[in-house]
Every structure is written in C-alpha cells, then in structure tokens.
Amino acid sequence: MKTTIVAVILIMFAWAKLEPASCMDRLLADSENSPAVAAVQAPAAPTVDLASVMNVLKRETGTKKASPAAALPSRAIFGKDDRQELFSAPVQWKEIGHSLAGKVSVDHITDHGSSWELHGDPLSAKECPGNRFSDQITVPSCTGFLLKPDLLVTAAHCIKAQDDCDNFKWVFEYALANQGDKNYTKVGADRVYQCKKIVARNYQNFGDIDYAILQLDRPVEGRKPLKLALNSQPAVGTGLVNIGNSNGLPLKYKDSAQILHIKPTGQAFDSEMDTFGGDSGSPVFDAATGEVLGITSSGHADHFHDGASNCRQLKVCKPGEKCNLSVASGIWNLKSEPALGAN
C-alpha cells in the first residue's frame, strides 16, 4: 500500500513539474474574470536572500571567467518596482517596443472594420487598491516579438497547439501613447494579426529551453525584426532590459537588472528583473547592444494574498529577504532552427 501511495505521489509530482508555467497560464487565462495571466509559477526551489545573490555576482564578475555557481531559484519584485511606461523609455527602446505583440484571446477583442478594440478588467480588479497601474486594462496573457516580417517568437508554454493559434490574436504595441492616453485599447487593423501555424516549438528542462516560432497570417509592415545574440552566451553581470505586457498591462519597460547566474544546463539565465505573468515570451535584451539575449520563461508567483485587506498584493523582495529570481531561456537555443535562415 505504501509503495502504491509513493508511486502516485511521484507521478503527480512529475506531472506538476511538466511545463509548470503553462499549467498556471492555462488555469488563469481560462478564468471568466480575467483574460490575462496573473502569475507564472516555477517549480519549487531553494531560496536565497538578495544580499547573498549580489555577493555571488560580485565574486563571479571579479574573475576573468565566471564559474558556474549553485543553482539559484526563480524571482519577484526586487526593491523598487522598476516598470515604466514604454513612452517614457529612451528612443532606442521605444522603437524596439514597436516590434512586440501581446497574445489576446478572440473573446477579448472586437473587430470594427478598420480598427479593433480590446476588452478586459482593470488591474484593480485583481490586485489590492492603490497599486501602480491599477486603472489600466489588462488583456494580453503573453508577449511575443518579431523575428522576420511574418514570424513571431514567444515562449513555448504560451502556445502549445494549433488551437492556441486559432483562438488568439497577436496585437502589436499594446501600449500607452502618453500619460493621458485613454484610447490605448483601440488599435488599428494593421496592428492585429492571427497566428497561421506553429513553425517550431521547443520546451525542455522545465523551461530552460522555452520558445515557439509562429507564422503570422501576413507579413508585418512598418515594424523591424529584432536582432538576436545567437552566437555566444552572455556573461554574468551583463546589464539587461526587458519590455513586456506585465500582468496583461500595456507594455512596460524595465532596465534595472543584470544576469546573476547562467543555469547549469547552459540553456538559460537568472536575473532580478521585475517580470510578471503576461511577460512570458517577452524579449530580454543586452542593455548595451539592444540584442535579444533571452525569452522570459518563468518565475515565482508575483502576488500573495493579503489577509488583512483580503486582496492580492504584489510580492516585493527586500534586501536580506529570501526571494526567487526571474528565468529567461537563452536565445542561443534557437540557433539551429531552420526558420532563422540567414538571420
């Protein structure tokens, strides 16, 4: 009897660890109250405090060659919430943001002919009152970026089968144009695309490899494919930038993170980037070159239940507190994909 119970537990554990982020994405994306993913869950991992992480970083970057460290866990907000509106980012990054698209359920977007309108709940319906961006409408459940005029890259856990192509639109540049923008949920038809088919999909090692290449229903005009750093792994200490649909919100820009650790598999890296559900599939850039280094894959739950207020509150990691890190699948994992061609 004991042997049977142990076997069942092991099977359940193995299933729970299979594409963990996708399990949470699907449960939350199917919620009637919210089209957007509220959190991306990672497998349970040992925790470390932020001060210890930074000490490891200083030690590693102080040598000529960074040596592999013990595996660090996955993440939350580190200190200050660094998310900014895309319109407030430097010009280079605003231009790059034009090439990003959000995954939107067909149930939450309406065709008006020459334009489309997105529908969703404000962030205040999902988080405690008074949080940043509380009045903004949350819609995308994942983020993707342009690889070629008709090819889009996102995380594999964001799109698993042709049904995910058929039942979701990809909306480019879901973002505020300025601080007072009240029309950001209305977009031109030239910003809305359908996934035609999955060209490639690869999910391995619990998300260390986590990418999908999608063919769109037509070539994208007026938006540039992003440059990929395919030929080498980045170094520990490399400064990072991320742009994505955090929490399903209009695009947010973050620039206060760096690579803390290359995974033992050599297929992914950790950072203290302030990423959320909805950022899955978003590009993680080398801050100096603007090249894509990775694809946002997973992380610890970014909210907790505030019992006193009976609502969901953001998880903020303070120095000395044990927290998890954000995980990005290395873009170099795509190097052998035929779809890249001469990219």
In whole angstroms, what is the distance from residue 250 CA to residue 144 CA? 13
Count, residues in the chain:
343
What does the mean pLDDT of the chain come to? 80
In whole angstroms, what is the distance from residue 145 CA to residue 98 CA? 9
What is the structure's pLDDT at 341? 82
What is the structure's pLDDT at 78? 53
**Domains of the chain from N-terminus onward:** 39-82+227-340 (2.40.10.10)
Q: Which residue has the higher pLDDT, 18 or 50?
A: 50
pLDDT tens by residue, 278-309:
999 999 999 999 999 999 998 655 666 777 77
What is the structure's pLDDT at 298? 84
Q: Which residue has the higher pLDDT, 335 or 46?
A: 335
What is the structure's pLDDT at 52? 46
pLDDT tens by residue, 173-224:
999 999 999 999 999 999 999 999 999 999 999 899 999 999 999 999 999 9
- The answer for residues whose C-beta is within 8 angstroms of residue 18's C-beta and 6 or more apart is none
In whole angstroms, what is the distance from residue 10 CA to residue 18 CA? 12
What is the structure's pLDDT at 340? 92
Q: Is the pLDDT of residue 233 over 80?
A: yes
Q: Which residue has the higher pLDDT, 127 or 96?
A: 96
What is the structure's pLDDT at 267? 97
With CA atoms as reference, report the closest residue to 172 among 225, 248, 100, 120.
Answer: 100
What is the structure's pLDDT at 272? 87
With CA atoms as reference, report the closest residue to 89 among 232, 244, 208, 207.
Answer: 244
pLDDT tens by residue, 240-283:
999 999 999 999 999 989 999 999 999 999 998 888 889 999 99
